[in-house]
Amino acid sequence: MTQNPFDALGGGPGGLDLGALLQQAQQMQDQLHDAQQRLAEATVDGSVAGGAVTVTLTGAGELTDVTITPDALAGTDAESLADLGDLVVAAFRDARAKVDELAQETLGPLAGGLPDLGGPGQAPGRLGF
């Protein structure tokens, strides 16, 4: 006779302890909530050009600060301003990559190896933050 895979959940041979299963689900939900809270409170910086442009994002991906050193602005002509815009975008992307890495470190262990299905508008495998 084969072993019932639900035996590990308790309740005796062939039984299923729904109380234990619900308790485990609640613990996982609490751990996920705590991890999401820690992530939301975290901040990360992204920078380019030796710190000429630095942006700060929350762990949820919200842009909270942009710092531009005088060296980052070569002039006020259209080309210089476009270059500055490119630096800001690159610094944002650097910070965003760090947010994604932090989210994976924080939330990844709670996923239990399940693939990230993404949220609305998110590609599978990409965190929806």
Triad 126, 111, 8: Cα angle to 5°: 155
In the chain (129 residues long), the average pLDDT of successive 10-residue segments reads: 58 68 84 84 93 93 93 84 92 94 81 49 44
Retrieve residue 25's tokens.
């689900």
Distance CA 47, CA 56 (A): 9
**3 state SS of 56:** strand
Question: Taking the domains of the chain in order of start, what are their residue ranges?
Answer: 43-102
CATH 3.30.1310.10 given to domain 43-102: yes
pTM score, whole prediction = 0.62
